[in-house]
Structure 1
Amino acid sequence: ERVTVLTSDKAADHAWRDPNVVIVIGSGPETTTAGAWIAGRQPAYPQGIRGWALPADAYRAAGAERMQESGEGEFPGLRAAQLARLGPRTGDLVWDIGSGSGALAVEAARFGAAVLAVDADPAACARTEAAARAFGVPVQIVCGRAPHILERLPEPDVVRIGGGGVPVARAVVDRRPERIVTHASTRDEAEALGAALTGNGYTVECSLLQSVDLDTEVWTERERSVVFLLSACRSDLAP
């Protein structure tokens, strides 16, 4: 018996000697020799839906029936700002920690990035899976609680922290991604998160975002959201 173990990039050039069993093992997106991540197929745009930072209604129209928005971390305006600061693209590996509704994970995948969506809530994992299926994009679901579940994940390029607070922020900083975004509902929470990111080789910015949804039939306020947006960029990569 002879056993040969090879990575995928070496298999094609290997001189095989009459093998009678070949086992291929893989899970999720594979990294290329250049260190880039390829999700595996072109993003889909079901039912002619166009745009980014889509509301829950757009996901339900695409077939994600259980899609819902809840809390200040889910409103489309914040998601748009987070995506703009992360800049996910083909070749990136994105961590979406606390994926919630799954909307940000799906939209990062629509940009061509490989995405790991992490959440401790099985219902949130199911919503993320349904949203990814509705839009025809590959998103790998990781059901577990951060920061401990992060230890076994491959190194990220950019990270969105949707929950978990300072312990998760510190764990993410230790992995040295290029960019990190997170949010806070109070100034005290924002200052604590900023302190966890600052001084660890990152340049940190914070903005106060306010979004007011208006009923255009009567032009009255329907919903208001106020949130602190924090973004961190590794200092050695800052423009």
Structure 2
Amino acid sequence: ARGWALPAEEYGIDLDESESTWLRAAQLARLGARTGDLVWDIGCGTGAVAAEAAGFGAAVIAVDSEPGACASTAAAARRAGVQLQVVEGTAPHVLERLPEPDVVRIGGGGIDVVVACADRRPERIVTHAATRDEAEAVSTALTEGGYQVECTLLQSVDLDTADWSERERAVVFLVAARRPDGTS
């Protein structure tokens, strides 16, 4: 399929709220993954973000503790015609044996995962939070890790234009962090 942040039906499975089309669009835009980058997708879920980042030409390592999520991610990659590596394991511990990332998307795992990723010093880290308190805690951890952080409250409602009924709703805080130029 042409484009990015593809509709859920392109994956042949139901995506959860944390993988809504518009949240994925915002996460992918803030990640800025490109050819030559190594992307970590921690808590990869169904693999929609990982597959799309790989479609941009990035090398992707998708990590999840759930075997079903790992299988879904591999299936999403096959369906998209891209290659990526799937690692089953619990973050942050499983991250210790991975190569250094250029950009990181965190789909879940909590503050410990955020701190572990920031300690690896990727150029960008993107995640989301369900509550303002969670967004503040993530932002604080990233700021203390030396990152410039922005947070945006995103609300999207996907409508069926045949009858203008609601199909999908997502309300999240998008937290995007970038390492200031010239730091390591």
2:110 to 153, 165, 185: 165
- Is 1:215 aligned to residue 160 of structure 2? yes
Q: Provide the C-alpha distance between the structure 1 equivalents of 2:87 and 2:32, rounded to a whole number of angstroms.
A: 22
**Alignment gaps of 5+ in structure 2:** none
Q: Which whole-Å deviations, capped at 9, do the CAs of 1:186-227 have from their partners, x for residues lacking one?
A: 001101111110122110000000001112112233332110
- Cα 1:237–1:74 shift into 2, 3 Å: farther
Following TM superposition, by how much is the alpha carbon of 1:56 offset from its aligned partner in structure 2, in angstroms? 2.1
The 8 Å contact of residues 178 and 237 in structure 1, kept in 2 or not, is answered as no
- Is 1:111 aligned to residue 63 of structure 2? no
Q: AA paired with 1:141? A: V
CA RMSD of aligned residues (A): 1.2
Q: Provide the C-alpha distance between the structure 1 equivalents of 2:43 and 2:164, rounded to a whole number of angstroms.
A: 34
1:69 to 9, 12, 15: 15
User: How many corresponding residue pairs?
Assistant: 183
**Alignment gaps of 5+ in structure 1:** 1-48, 61-66
Q: Which whole-Å deviations, capped at 9, do the CAs of 1:103-128 have from their partners, x for residues lacking one?
A: 00000000000000000000000000
The 8 Å contact of residues 209 and 226 in structure 1, kept in 2 or not, is answered as yes
Bigger Rg over Cα: 1
Q: Provide the C-alpha distance between the structure 2 equivalents of 1:84 and 1:164, rounded to a whole number of angstroms.
A: 22
Secondary structure of the residue that 1:232 maps to in structure 2?
strand
- Is 1:182 aligned to residue 131 of structure 2? no
- Cα 1:215–1:139 shift into 2, 3 Å: same
Q: 2:170 is matched with which residue?
A: 225
Q: AA paired with 1:236? A: D
The 8 Å contact of residues 148 and 179 in structure 2, kept in 1 or not, is answered as yes
- Cα 1:234–1:183 shift into 2, 3 Å: same
TM-score by length of 2: 0.96
Q: Which whole-Å deviations, capped at 9, do the CAs of 1:42-93 have from their partners, x for residues lacking one?
A: xxxxxxx211111221122xxxxxx3212x2110100000110111111100
- Cα 1:193–1:77 shift into 2, 3 Å: same
Q: Provide the C-alpha distance between the structure 1 equivalents of 2:169 and 2:80, rounded to a whole number of angstroms.
A: 28
TM-score by length of 1: 0.74
Q: AA paired with 1:52? A: W
- Is 1:57 aligned to residue 3 of structure 2? no
Q: Provide the C-alpha distance between the structure 1 equivalents of 2:108 and 2:176, rounded to a whole number of angstroms.
A: 14
Report which stretch shifted further, 228-237 or 76-85: 228-237
Q: Provide the C-alpha distance between the structure 1 equivalents of 2:86 and 2:166, rounded to a whole number of angstroms.
A: 36
Following superposition, which runs of at least 4 residues in structure 1 exceed 6 angstroms of deviation?
none
